[in-house]
Amino acid sequence: MELLHEEKVCCPYCNEVIVILVDLEDLGQEYIEDCRVCCQPISVQVTTNIKDELMVIIYNENEA
């Protein structure tokens, strides 16, 4: 099983689509990753939905 997964997300600051690399061992974790376009800190939450599918939730610092 591959533990790294590429996920396309939209930066909550500049609205650019960026690709983040998600480690599947980080399920249930929250961490900060800088946007590669505008360098703003994005909060990333890695979880699963009711069907056990990977979900990556992102938001800016002000929404935390």
| Residue 3 confidence (pLDDT) | 80
Q: How is the chain classified by DSSP, letter by letter?
A: ---EEEEEEE-TTT--EEEEEEEGGGTT-EEEEE-TTT--EEEEEEEE-TT--EEEEEEEGGG-
Neighbours of 48 (CB within 10 A): 12
In tens, the pLDDT along 48-59 reads: 888 888 899 999
| Residue 64 confidence (pLDDT) | 56
pTM of the model: 0.80
In tens, the pLDDT along 1-47 reads: 568 889 999 999 999 999 999 888 888 889 999 999 999 999 999 99
In 3D space, the residue among 32, 31, 30, 36 whose CA is nearest the CA of residue 14 turns out to be 36
